[in-house]
Amino acid sequence: MIKQYLELGQIVGTHGVRGEMKLDCWCDSPAFVQQFKTVFLDPEGNRSVDVLSSRPHKNQVLIRLGGVDTVEQAEACRGKVLYIRRADAGLKEGAWFIAELIGCRAYDADDPEKLWGEITDVYNTGANDIWVIRTPEGKDVHIPAIPDVVIGADVAADRAVIRPLKGLFDDAN
């Protein structure tokens, strides 16, 4: 399902005394965060805040937000989740966010009526993403999200198309 506002990450600490905060980013890389000039404090996009600065720092992002000028104000933000507007992300046509894949139904590339299951999770092994597909029988199957297996996804239609490697679903039925 396409979401207008997506989770960017969570503030997990402070950095220095001038309101800079540590953000655990929930995206492909900390550098992705640098393109945003505005973030939101709620998943509906009702409370926006200006991004004054952001920079990668190890596996996190050091971020300064408008109205947060002291370490005390930054500490009060600990635990807050920041959101971005999907339209601001500059996503290429046919691309999707992991959060939008969750809940999509996975159908067979060669038999469009064959439902393999629903995508319930996505994680990365370092080499590639892995999609967790819960079969109609309730078993979880982990498939590699590689071009030979994942043919495409239409998150607006909650539909993914896969061509599973031989044997992946044998024990799931």
What is the three-state SS of 41-70? CCCCCCCEEEEEEEEEECCEEEEEECCCCC
* Dihedral sign from CA coordinates of 165, 168, 169, 170: positive
CATH of 98-162, one of 2.30.30.240, 3.60.10.10, 1.20.1070.10, 3.10.105.10: 2.30.30.240
Which tokens hold the place of 70? Answer: 């002291």
Q: Which one, of 101, 156, 111, 110, lies nearest residue 133 by Cα?
A: 101
Q: According to the model, what pLDDT value does residue 19 have? A: 95
For position 173, what pLDDT does the model report? 55
pTM > 0.75: yes
Residue showing tokens 């998150």: 155
